[in-house]
Structure 1
Amino acid sequence: MRFRRQGEGEGDVAVVFVHGFLDDQYVWDRLIAELTTSGVECVTLDLAGSGDRTAAGGPFGYDRFADEVGAVVDALGKPFVIVGQSMGSAVAELVAAERPERAVGLVLVTPAPLAGTHLPAEAIDPFRSLGGDAEAQRAVRLQLSVALPEAELDRLIATGVRMRSDVVRDMADCWNAGHPAGEVPSRFTGPVLIIRGEGDGFVTEELVGELVAPRFGSVESVSVGGGGHWVHLERPVEVAGHLDRFLTGVLPSVDEAAASAVRPQGWTNAFEEKSAEAFRETFAADVVLEASSLTRPVEGRDQVTSVMGAASGIYESLAFTQEAVKGHRVYLEWRATAFGGVPIEGVTILTKDDNGQIVRIAIHHRPLGALHRFSAELGKRLRGVVPADLFHQG
């Protein structure tokens, strides 16, 4: 993955831009040039199969796109606002939802619903067959835009016809079929701004109101007159104004995010090492473990060490996302996977003594199905070490 950084030295927040179907990273340049918010850097990139990555192999779908854009966000290593247009808006949501500790805002420009558009064959086939057809691409862009500058229209067509026909077909299938995450409320709970062009006949006000906006808890929708599906190119000054206003509103939350960032400590380091002995070093002799995966508490350093050593080995991945401290108590939110990618989330409460050793642990898992499976697997791994009736027997 290659990406461009503009204003790299101007602050600790990144604004990451994800382009849409048939486009490339340069589609954002007119908008970025109009932004006035200080203290941010702007980052653009090409999705696989687009722009300078037309030679990339498949698959070409939301999971692959989100993994690659997520890798760029992780490489930046700072809080971010992510902006996506059309198909790219779905990618942007997936990336933000996986990084709640650093994603401080989400902007959806003429967004394709994450659940998909589900056009019938006679409606989606013309989009699937756009690969290499300059005249057909020109017709589609003219139909869905209001005021595309001629030079930008020509550049977009030149960009689109470079894409392989198989890539265009797969991308059209991708945004038409959607992603399972779009069928439920969004996992991104931060502030969301939706921007659409009033003249967009594809992403209509009704589509946004029925399929996009209701999935978010904190959302604002605005329409820009004189713009269509490429409103960021057609009306860059107006769109930049809305984006600047949004950035001004979310930037204070960056300080809040820093305050809630998880600091390395014995407990989190032990999970990273997956080491029973690393856990033991953090425990007081009379430590007590309570957990939703246990039928009753486990007491004493030896027993708790055995349970935590085995539990840490079940997780395939585990990330601590938020931390709060009050007196001797530490509250940690976390997100994990196990059993071949099954998501598990939870909250851990650690109570420490005056020496900083842990005297009580309370671990709460969700959802219930994953919790039962986790408890049963933990019982198998600890058979003969601790009593079997501590665990779910289903």
Structure 2
Amino acid sequence: MKTERVADTDVRYRRSGDGDLAVVFVHGFLDDQYAWDRLISRLTTPGIECVTLDLAGCGDRDTADGPYDYDQFADEVGAVVDALDKPFVIVGHSMGAAVAELVAVQRPDRVRGLMLVTPVPLAGVHLPDEMIEQFRSLGGDADGQRGVRDQLSVAFPEAELDRLVATGRRLRPEVIRALADCWNTGHPLGERTSAYPGPVLIVRGEGDGFVTEDMVDNAIVPHFTATTAVSVAGAGHWAHIEQAAEVATRLDGLLADALGSEGVPAANSTRPQGWTNAFAQKSADAFGEAFTEDVVLEASILTRPVEGRDQVKKVMGAASAVYESLRFTRETVNGPRTYLEWEAAAFGGLPIEGVTILTKNADGQVLRVAIHHRPLGAALRFSAELRTRLAGEIAADHFHQS
């Protein structure tokens, strides 16, 4: 572990590990960079360097000058990323998730992934005055800060709870007011679809009463083009602390995609970032690396399975091009099977929903895909469209006849 400073600033950052891919962590409201230590200690991905820092006004920089807003924080974290001068994955918690997104948007050539842990929307939460005032007035109030953490957590380790309450108590009241206004008001870029096109992993604690399931579904997932949203049992708003091992496993998966099969960061222009991002690319080749040679595709839009990597690639590439929009709303992993719930639109806004089940081998490649579409009318129309698009490439009797 070593600490370095961004030239001509008071921004210091810690570096641990040695690799060609940096993993940069951005803490949330009232927290500090050490809140990530439980998660970092449980990561198993080789070839990465983990980097943490305190935002202005927080942690060891509690006397730093403002302004304490998203643009200032993105400039600080961005300066650290630039000093590292290597490809990176960025991870943000709560308020820090918005900062992480802004940094990713500004560096599309080097960012390889974005992980948002119990994120607040970049557009802001917009609590009414009486509710946001409860957060704005937490300066110097250790009991109040402990109460907020107790209310929004499920399994906060007592020692870490005590440490973070002591950390938060040091923050100046004017800083806390500014931070609360920052995440409550949001940033103008939050009002439109994110300019970051790469893979986004959203991790929410099931017991989080602040970043709710509805908030993720309606304000976070639609903001991006290639998302996977997962819920962590036994966790609240600080999932990375409450269930550090589970969240580390999720991050290891994102890092494996970012590093690629050769164990080195792949170029953004050519590297497909897993199953969900293959849909965003709408290319048959984007699915290829995920499949075994003898992969089998079953689907409610098919009358019989399609077999073999080349054939399945063609079907999946054509199918992804039919969708006008598609977002993955839930993910559950049970042994070799991954269950993905999704919502899509096609044919001028016709809604389609479904569940995809991926069965993987020991190397993580997909050997069987089962896709269930609904409603029936939309599934039949989708099948007919694929039969037309794949004429001469996939036998017509694989599809339903109109």
Q: After TM superposition, give the deviation of residue 259 of structure 1 in Å.
A: 7.9
Distance 2:259 2:131 in 1: 41
- After TM superposition, where is structure 1 displaced by more than 6 Å over at least 4 residues in a row? none
Matched residue, 2:122? 114
State the partner residue of 1:28: 36
Find the counterpart in structure 2 of residue 307 from structure 1. none
1:226-305 aligned at under 5 Å gives the runs 226-252=234-260, 254-257=265-268
**Residue of 213, 224, 227 corresponding to 1:219:** 227
Number of the residue aligned with 2:171: 163
Cα RMSD of the aligned pairs, angstroms, is: 1.2
Contact 2:26–2:52, Cα closer than 8 Å, also in 1: yes
Q: Is the 8 A contact 1:17 1:84 kept in 2?
A: yes
Aligned to 2:215: 207
Cα separation, 2, equivalents of 1:149 and 1:34: 16
**How far apart, in 2, do the equivalents of 1:52 and 1:22 lie?**
12
- Deviation track 1:338-369 (CA, whole Å, cap 9, x = no partner) reads xxxxxxxxxxxxxxxxxxxxxxxxxxxxxxxx
Give 1:188's aligned residue. Answer: 196
Matching residue of 2:157: 149
Q: Distance in 1 between matches of 2:159 and 2:269?
A: 43
Q: TM-score, normalised by structure 1?
A: 0.64
CA contact (8 A) 2:258 2:266 kept: no
Task: Answer yes or no: is 1:91 the counterpart of 2:99.
Answer: yes
The letter for the 1-side match of 2:16 is Q
Cα displacement (A) at 1:70: 0.2
Secondary structure of 2:55's match?
Answer: coil
Is the Cα–Cα contact under 8 Å of residues 15 and 49 in structure 2 kept in the other structure? yes
Unaligned 5+ residue runs, structure 1? Answer: 261-394
Q: Structure 2 CA distance, aligned partners of 1:12 and 1:258?
A: 18
Percent identity of equivalent pairs: 66
Larger Rg: 1
Equivalent in the alignment of 1:129 = 137
Deviation (angstroms), 1:114 = 0.2
- Structure 2 unaligned spans of 5+: 1-10, 272-402
CA distance in 2, matches of 1:219, 1:258: 18
Matched residue type, 2:259: L
Return the letter of the residue paired with 1:251.
Answer: L
Q: Is the 1:82–1:105 contact (alpha carbons within 8 Å) kept by the matching residues of 2?
A: yes
Q: Which residue of 2 aligns with 1:355?
A: none
State the SS of the aligned residue for 1:49: coil
Contact 2:104/2:196 (<8 A) preserved: yes
> Per the alignment, do residues 245 and 4 of structure 1 end up closer, same or farther by CA in structure 2, a change over 3 Å counting?
same
Is the contact between residue 83 and residue 109 of structure 1 (CA under 8 Å) also seen in structure 2? yes
Provide the secondary structure at the position in 2 that maps to 1:34: coil
Distance 1:153 1:245 in 2: 28
